[in-house]
């Protein structure tokens, strides 16, 4: 009888499983859970840790007798990088499971992420949208399976011993400087393939450019700077795992709305009669609706006043709860009014403000308002403009 079965359960094997059974079970589970295959990285780690313990006869013995507590007493949790263990077991040497990744210690673990910005309209961020994106990335050559040529055709470059770099010494006065550059012979690849043995499809490059169509799901309420990631869709390489394609959302400016988190701001111009006597105005929304706003008669709207319409902002990302719509109202005044209609205004509006009471010694002088002479003001400003750069030049 074993004390605990958690690790066996993780691998879905009975506690009396043989070493071969364990390995087979781990391989099956790890292939399914591998993060590069879209699996859950935490689950992958857990399963890998379970296998790491059970595949070691000494640790398995401790676990069987005393459970996880026994292992932590040993201080032997340490553990390996699950990626390392995985590629050590199944990755390297010939047919790796993921394009022959792992194994080789040199070279990058992952190819560079492909980052792509997409400009999204506020309408699409409001409603959500699925958009197709074509991208070109390198894939392992189908003809040579990423070897670059016939079996045995690939040799280590003798000039650089496969390091791909050349070091030259240069005398700099009393010092000798080391300069590193790409090997001329193999162009930095560290390998040489005879021309006649080279793969005819990829010309020895091992990879070929391939177009791929990605469906980018833009969720309702996404914001600038948020990303959609496609795991392992970046360039493939015979020596590294493919990196990710990262789509960065960029919100396009909108002509009617400004966005502040999940709230929207818009400006509306109404006429004076509507502002004073009520009426309605409409706001074209970001979907296929227009909001009809009713101003009750007797309710006065002031120029420059802000109002809010609840629940008509952007949907929140998580639960799609809407923010609010703020409306800044400006009132358009008429250019002139028929003097005959003024008595009607006088009967409807509050009376004119009386003049303040001045001291007796203050003389009242009648004057007229005129339109300011804008042309003259502009000339003044132009004079300043032409003078400014001259002064700056003299200072520099």
Order of strands across the sheet that contains 257-260: 257-260, 263-271, 325-332, 305-309
Between 201 and 229, whose beta carbon lies closer to Zn ion?
A: 201
CB atoms within 10 A of CB 24: 14
Burial-class residue 234 by CB neighbours within 10 Å (0-12, 13-18, 19+): buried
Site string for Zn ion, 190-219 (x = CB under 5 A): ---------x-xx-----------------
Between 50 and 183, whose beta carbon lies closer to Zn ion?
A: 183
Q: Which of residues 136-155 bind Zn ion (CB under 5 A)?
A: 141, 143-144
Alpha carbon distance 377, 176 (integer Å): 69
For residue 205, the minimal CB distance to Zn ion (Å) is 7
Alpha carbon distance 137, 234 (integer Å): 6
CA Rg, the chain, in Å?
Answer: 37
Between 72 and 201, whose beta carbon lies closer to Zn ion?
A: 201
Between 85 and 183, whose beta carbon lies closer to Zn ion?
A: 183
Give the three-class secondary structure for 386: helix
Candidate ranges 113-121, 133-141, 309-317, 360-368; the one touching Zn ion (CB under 5 A): 133-141
CB atoms within 10 A of CB 335: 5
Residue 160 in contact with residue 112, Cβ under 8 Å? Answer: no
Which residue do the tokens 């990302």 mark? 317
For residue 146, the minimal CB distance to Zn ion (Å) is 7
For residue 97, the minimal CB distance to Zn ion (Å) is 20
DSSP state letter for 190: S
Between 68 and 197, whose beta carbon lies closer to Zn ion?
A: 197
For residue 190, the minimal CB distance to Zn ion (Å) is 6
Candidate ranges 78-86, 121-129, 159-167, 281-289; the one touching Zn ion (CB under 5 A): 159-167
Alpha carbon distance 350, 340 (integer Å): 18
For residue 100, the minimal CB distance to Zn ion (Å) is 14
Binds Zn ion by CB under 5 A, chosen from 5, 121, 159, 239: 159
Alpha carbon distance 183, 167 (integer Å): 9
Q: Which two tokens stand for residue 191?
A: 């390998």
Between 125 and 186, whose beta carbon lies closer to Zn ion?
A: 186
For residue 72, the minimal CB distance to Zn ion (Å) is 49
Using the Cα atoms of residue 351, residue 356, residue 362 and residue 366 in order, give the sign of their dihedral.
negative
Query: Of 198, 163, 195, 200, which is closest to residue 182 (Cα–Cα)?
Result: 163
For residue 113, the minimal CB distance to Zn ion (Å) is 25
Which residue do the tokens 């800044």 mark? 328
For residue 238, the minimal CB distance to Zn ion (Å) is 10
Between 60 and 147, whose beta carbon lies closer to Zn ion?
A: 147
Binds Zn ion by CB under 5 A, chosen from 140, 160, 193, 218: 160
Q: What is the dihedral of CA 364, 366, 368, 373, to 10 degrees?
A: -60
Site string for Zn ion, 163-192 (x = CB under 5 A): --------------------x-xx------
First to last CA, the chain: 88
275 binds Zn ion (CB under 5 A): no
Candidate ranges 30-38, 156-164, 241-249, 379-387; the one touching Zn ion (CB under 5 A): 156-164
Candidate ranges 157-165, 227-235, 241-249, 379-387; the one touching Zn ion (CB under 5 A): 157-165
For residue 145, the minimal CB distance to Zn ion (Å) is 8
What single string gives the DSSP state of each residue in 144-158? TTTSSBSTT-EEE-T
Binds Zn ion by CB under 5 A, chosen from 13, 33, 157, 228: 157
The secondary element (H helix, E strand) that includes residue 137 is strand 129-140
Q: Which two tokens stand for residue 292?
A: 């009809």
For residue 183, the minimal CB distance to Zn ion (Å) is 3
Between 29 and 147, whose beta carbon lies closer to Zn ion?
A: 147
Between 119 and 201, whose beta carbon lies closer to Zn ion?
A: 201
Which positions lie near Zn ion, rule CB under 5 A? 141, 143-144, 157, 159-160, 183, 185-186, 199, 201-202
């Amino acid at each position: 009888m074993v004390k605990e079965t958690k690790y066996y359960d993780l691998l879905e094997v009975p506690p009396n499983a043989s070493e071969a059974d364990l390995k087979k079970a781990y391989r099956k589970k790890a292939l399914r859970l591998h993060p590069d295959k879209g699996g859950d990285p935490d689950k992958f780690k857990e399963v890998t840790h379970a296998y790491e313990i059970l595949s070691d006869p000494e640790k398995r013995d401790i676990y069987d007798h005393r459970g996880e507590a026994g292992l932590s007493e040993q201080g032997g949790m340490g553990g390996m990088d699950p990626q390392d263990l995985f590629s050590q077991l199944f990755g390297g040497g010939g047919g790796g499971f993921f394009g022959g990744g792992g194994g080789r210690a040199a070279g990058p673990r992952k190819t560079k992420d492909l980052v792509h910005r997409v400009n999204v309209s506020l309408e699409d961020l409001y409603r959500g949208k699925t958009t197709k994106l074509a991208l070109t990335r390198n894939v392992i050559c189908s003809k040579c399976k990423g070897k670059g040529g016939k079996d045995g055709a690939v040799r280590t470059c003798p000039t650089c011993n496969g390091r791909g770099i050349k070091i030259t010494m240069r005398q700099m006065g009393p010092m000798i400087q080391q300069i590193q550059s790409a090997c001329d012979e193999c162009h930095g690849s560290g390998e040489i393939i005879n021309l006649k043995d080279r793969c005819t499809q990829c010309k020895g490059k091992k990879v070929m450019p391939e177009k791929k169509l990605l469906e980018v799901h833009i969720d309702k309420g996404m914001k600038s700077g948020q990303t959609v990631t496609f795991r392992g869709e970046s360039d493939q390489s015979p020596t590294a795992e493919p990196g990710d394609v990262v789509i960065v959302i960029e919100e396009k400016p909108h002509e009617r709305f400004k966005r502040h988190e999940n709230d929207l701001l818009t400006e509306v111009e109404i006429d004076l009669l509507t502002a004073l006597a009520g009426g309605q105005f409409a706001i074209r929304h970001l979907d296929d609706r227009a909001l009809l706003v009713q101003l009750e008669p007797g309710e006065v709207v002031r120029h420059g006043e802000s109002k809010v319409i609840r629940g008509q902002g952007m949907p929140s990302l998580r639960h799609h709860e809407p923010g609010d719509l703020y409306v800044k109202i400006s009132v358009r005044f008429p250019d002139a009014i028929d003097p005959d209609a003024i008595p009607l205004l006088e009967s409807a509006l509050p009376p004119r403000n009386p003049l303040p009471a001045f001291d007796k010694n203050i003389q009242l002088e009648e004057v007229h308002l005129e339109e300011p002479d804008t042309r003259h003001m502009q000339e003044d400003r132009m004079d300043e403009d032409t003078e400014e750069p001259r002064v700056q030049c003299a200072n520099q």
